[in-house]
Chains A and B, each alone.
Chain A
C-alpha cells in the first residue's frame, strides 16, 4: 500500500435531480479525499447534498439523477484505482465493491429495510453475496455483529421483522448490516441520530475499534458536532453542494475560518445556556404567527393544571416469527410497563431513555395509534376531560385536532404519493379550517418557517433530504395549532443551524399559542434547552421524572446519570470516554445499587418522591436519603 495514497478521491463530483420544471443541484463539482484508516467527517446544513454525495459514490443514486465527475477508489486490497462513477451501473465490478469494500449506513434506517424479510435475513445476505461462508457461519457472524451493535438477544432480533423494532434498534441493525462485510470504507450517513447517548457511545466505540483493527476508513456524515469532535480525524464542511472548509479536526474546531463553519459552531445548544436564551441559527427566520394558527386559548398558566394525565399504561407486543407458524413463539416484549405521569398545560415534558425502551410506543398510545393493554389517559383540553383511549365521535374529533404528533420516522409518516403541499394542508382539510386560498398561504408560511423553499410544495416527499422531510413533518404537526404536540425525535436529522431555527420556532409558538409539548429526544442538550420537566424511561418504565434542572444536575437514578455522562460535546477537549460510556446498559446495570433493581418482580419497585416534583423508581420503602448518595 502506497503511503499517503487516498482511499477515495472525489473529483469535481456533481449530482443533480431533474424536477418537473428546473432541477436541484444537490452536489456541485465537489472535490474531497478520504484517506485510508481515517475518519472523515462531513458536516453541513440539512439538504446540502451530503447523502447525495454518499449515494453517488456507491453508484446507487436514483436512475433519474444526473451524476458526473469522478470518484476514484483505491482499494488497498484490490488491484488499483477505479473510478466508481464510470463503472457500469450494477456491473460485476461495482457489485464487488458495494457492501464488500464500501459499506453504507443509510440515513433513514426505518425505511431502508424490506418489511417482509427478517432482519437476520437481510444482514446475512451481505455475507451470502461476498463470502463463501456456510449458512451457519453466516448466522454466527451476523448475530455476533448484532451483539456488537448493542442488542441483548441477537438471536431473537435475527428473526424479527423490521417493523417490530424501535427506530434506534433499526438503526443499529442497519449499522450491523454495513459492518458485517468488513468494508475498507464505511459511508456512515447519520449513523447515530436515533440512538440515545449511551448506545451512541457504544456504536461510536465500535466504529473506532473497527477502524483501528481493520484499517477501515469512515466517511462520517453527521450534524452532531459533538460526535465529530470525538470521532473525526478530518472534517469537510459542506454547504449547498459545495465544500466551504476542509481540514483536520483541529483546524476546524480550533481555527474555523469560514463564516459558515463559525455559524454552525455557534448554533449548538449547550448545557450552559440559560433557559430563556435563544439559539443562534445561521439565519434567523421571523415567522408571522399572528392570525395564522389561532391565538392562545388560555393565557394564564396555573400550577397543577394537568393537560394530559397518564395512568398505569402498559403495552405488550407478541412478536411474529418468520420460521413458520408452528414455531414456538418468542417471549412477549413489554414495551410499556405501568407508566404514569402528567403533562401540565403549557409545559414541555422531555422524555428521554434508552433506544427501544418504549418511548415511541408510549407516545403512540397517547395518540391512540397503538392500543394500550391497560391503563387510562385523560385529556383535559376541552371543556370536560376526555378519556383518550375510548373517546368516540365528537370527542375523538376534538382529540384529533388538538393532539398532533411529529413522527420519529419522517419518511414513512409522509404519504409517498402526496405532494408536500397536500401533506401539510391535509389536517386543515380534515378539520375544515379555512378555504383553499388560505390553506395555500398557510402552507407557504409554514414551509418558510421550517426553512424550506415554497417550491417544495409541489414536490413529493421522497425527493427531499432526511432533514427536509423531518421539517415537513413538523410543519404538518403545527399546521392546526394543536393543544398538545408530541414530538418524537423532531430534530434528530437536523444540522445544528436548522435545528436551532426549528427549536426557536417551536419555542416561539409555545409562548404565543400556549402549546404543550411532549418532547422525545436523545439529544440531552436539546432536551435541556426545550424541556421544563424531564422523564427518563428505561425498559418500558419511567425511572425518574423531575424538573429539567434537577435531572441535569442532581439525577439520582444510575441510568440517568450514565446518560448525562455520555453526552458528547462539540469540544476537542472533552471527547467521550468510549471505554466508560460505551458499555452496554445491561452490563452497566450490574453495577446498579440494589435499590433500583426489581430482582425479577416488577412489583418490587415503586415511584419514590424526592420532593420538588422529583420522583424516582426504586425499591418500595427505600429511604430517599439512601438514594441520593
Chain B
C-alpha cells in the first residue's frame, strides 16, 4: 500500500439510529398492479398517451360514422345538379349585415362563359339561405332496406349547400367523401389483415423453426416476391369473372393480393426471429415445454412489435388508396362505387389542379385517418414497451 493512502485517518464508525424492521413491506407500488393482467396494464399505460387516445377516439368516431353516412351526408352520393357543375366550395356564414342569423350560405348564380367554357359562379350577397338541421332532403335507403330522408343538415328549400364544392356532374363533394369513407375504411383492411396474419405466422415459423421449413418458405417467398404486383394485378383482373360487381372484384383482388403480399413482412419477421430465437428466454420457454405457437406469439413477436405496428400503420395508406394505383391500370374500383381512392382518381388531371382544386379535398380525410392510425400505433407501441 502506498504511503499517502495508508496515512488516511480511519473512517468514522457510523450507525444508523433509525428504527429497523426487517419485515417492513415495500409500500412502493399499488398492489392492484401486481394482479392486473398484462392487457390491463397495457391499457393503463395506453390511457396516459393523450394523442393516441384522441386518435383512437377519432378513429372510433370515423368508423361509427361509416354506419350512418346516409344521415350525415347532406345529399345522396349520386345526386346530381346539372346547374351546379364544378361549383367551388361555399362558405358557411353566421352574421348577415352585422346581425346574427345562424348558419347560412349565400345564394349563387351560375353563368356560362362561352369563350373559355367555364362556369362562373357569383355569390348573391342579398340572398340568405339558412341551413336546416334534422331536416328532410334526398331520400335514401338506409343500409339498403330502411327508407328515410332525414339528414343532419340540408340546404334551405330551393337553395344549395356545397360546403366542399361540386364535381363535374354537380355532385356534392362533401357527401361523396362521407359515402366514400364506407368503402375506404373497410375493404382494404381485409387485404392488410390477411397479409399480416400470414406474414407473421409463416415468417414466425420460418424464423423460429429454421431448417427445411425455413428453406421451403424462403423459396416460396422468393418466387412470390419475384412477381411484381403490377403484372399480378393485370393477370388477376383478367381472370376475375366478368359478372362480378366491381366492388366484389376489388374485394377479390385485395384479398388475393393480401394472400400474396405477406412475403415482405414474413422475411422481416423471419430475420428478426432468427436472431431472437437465440436468446436465453426462448430456451427457457422451450424448456418449460412451450409450443412453437406460444413461443412465437408470446416471446418472440412482442420483441418485434414496434416494427409490426409501424409496418401496419404504414400499410394503411396503401389500403385506403390501393385502388388509385389499380385504377391507373384500368382496374380497381370504378364509379358508381365511391371511395376516397375513386374520388382522387377522378381528380387525376391537371385540369383539376389548375381549375378545380377542391376536388383534391379527399386527400384531407386520408391524411387525418393515416395520422390517427399512426399516433394510435405510437401509443400502442409505447404501452407495450416495458421500458417506458
Contact = CB atoms under 8 A, between A and B. Distances in A.
Contacts of A251: 13
B12 A21 contact: no
A197 to B, nearest CB: 25
A430 B290 contact: yes
Contacts of B281: 412-416
Given A20-B41, A415-B285, A444-B34, A453 B15 contact: no
Contacts of A463: 386
Given A3-B4, A247-B13, A20 B33 contact: yes
Contacts of B25: 453
* Among B24, B25, B289, B305: residue with most chain A CB under 10 A: B289
A401 B289 contact: yes
Given A409-B280, A413-B283, A245 B14 contact: yes
Contacts of A212: 1-2
Interface string A214-250: 0100000000000000000010000110111111100
Contacts of B285: 415, 426
B78 interface: no
Contacts of B20: 239, 244, 258-260
A480 B302 CA distance: 25
Given A400-B287, A405-B284, A431-B289, A459 B13 contact: no
Nearest to B24: A240
B29 A427 contact: no
Nearest to B28: A24
Contacts of B9: 4
B386 A417 contact: yes
Nearest to A400: B289
B264 to A, nearest CB: 24
A1 interface: yes
B386 to A, nearest CB: 3
Contact of A37 (B5, B26, B32, B298): B5
B387 A62 contact: yes
* Among B41, B281, B384, B388: residue with most chain A CB under 10 A: B281
A428 to B, nearest CB: 10
Contacts of B22: 260, 263, 282-283
B290 A458 contact: no
B11 A247 contact: yes
Contacts of A112: none
B362 to A, nearest CB: 39
B196 to A, nearest CB: 19
A20 B299 CA distance: 22
Nearest to B41: A458
Contacts of B32: 21, 458
A455 B16 contact: no
B44 A407 contact: no
A369 B284 CA distance: 8
B26 to A, nearest CB: 5
Interface in B1-58: 1-2, 4-5, 7-16, 18, 20, 22-26, 28-38, 41, 44-45
Contacts of B4: 1, 3, 36-37
Interface string B250-289: 0000000000000000000000000000111101111111
B13 A369 contact: no
Contacts of B37: 421
B89 interface: no
Given A38-B5, A246-B14, A440-B35, A369 B30 contact: no
A37 B2 contact: yes
A405 B287 contact: yes
Contacts of A33: 11
A132 to B, nearest CB: 27
A585 interface: no
* Among B2, B16, B279: residue with most chain A CB under 10 A: B16
* Among B26, B30, B44, B302: residue with most chain A CB under 10 A: B26
Nearest to A37: B5
A451 B45 CA distance: 27
- Report, as a range, how many residues of chain B touch the other chain: 35 or more
Given A247-B13, A415-B298, A25 B284 contact: no
A586 interface: no
A22 B27 CA distance: 9
Given A415-B298, A418-B38, A457-B35, A407 B2 contact: no
A433 to B, nearest CB: 12
A455 B29 contact: yes
A418 B290 CA distance: 15
A24 B29 contact: yes
A400 B288 contact: yes
Given A245-B16, A246-B13, A36 B29 contact: no
Interface in B144-190: none
Contacts of B384: 417
Contacts of A413: 280-281, 283-284
Interface string A9-25: 00000000001111111
B8 A35 contact: yes
B18 A242 contact: yes
Contacts of A458: 29, 32-36, 41
A348 to B, nearest CB: 20
Contact of A19 (B13, B29, B279, B303): B29
Interface in A515-554: none
A257 interface: yes
30 contacts: A4-B9, A20-B29, A20-B41, A21-B29, A23-B28, A36-B4, A37-B2, A37-B8, A64-B387, A212-B2, A242-B18, A246-B14, A247-B11, A248-B11, A251-B13, A397-B289, A400-B287, A412-B280, A412-B281, A415-B298, A415-B299, A417-B299, A417-B386, A418-B299, A421-B37, A456-B34, A458-B29, A458-B34, A462-B386, A463-B386
Given A20-B29, A36-B5, A417-B302, 19 more contacts: A21-B32, A24-B29, A212-B1, A215-B5, A244-B15, A247-B12, A255-B13, A282-B22, A368-B287, A405-B284, A413-B280, A430-B289, A444-B34, A455-B30, A457-B34, A458-B41, A459-B33, A461-B386, A462-B387
Interface of A: 1, 3-4, 19-25, 33, 35-38, 62, 64, 163, 212, 215, 234, 239-240, 242-248, 251, 255, 257-260, 263, 282-283, 364, 367-369, 396-397, 399-401, 403-405, 407, 409, 412-419, 421-422, 426-427, 430-431, 440, 444, 447, 453-463, 476, 480
Closest 9 A/B residue pairs (Cβ): A400-B289, A460-B386, A37-B5, A458-B33, A247-B13, A457-B34, A455-B29, A21-B30, A412-B280
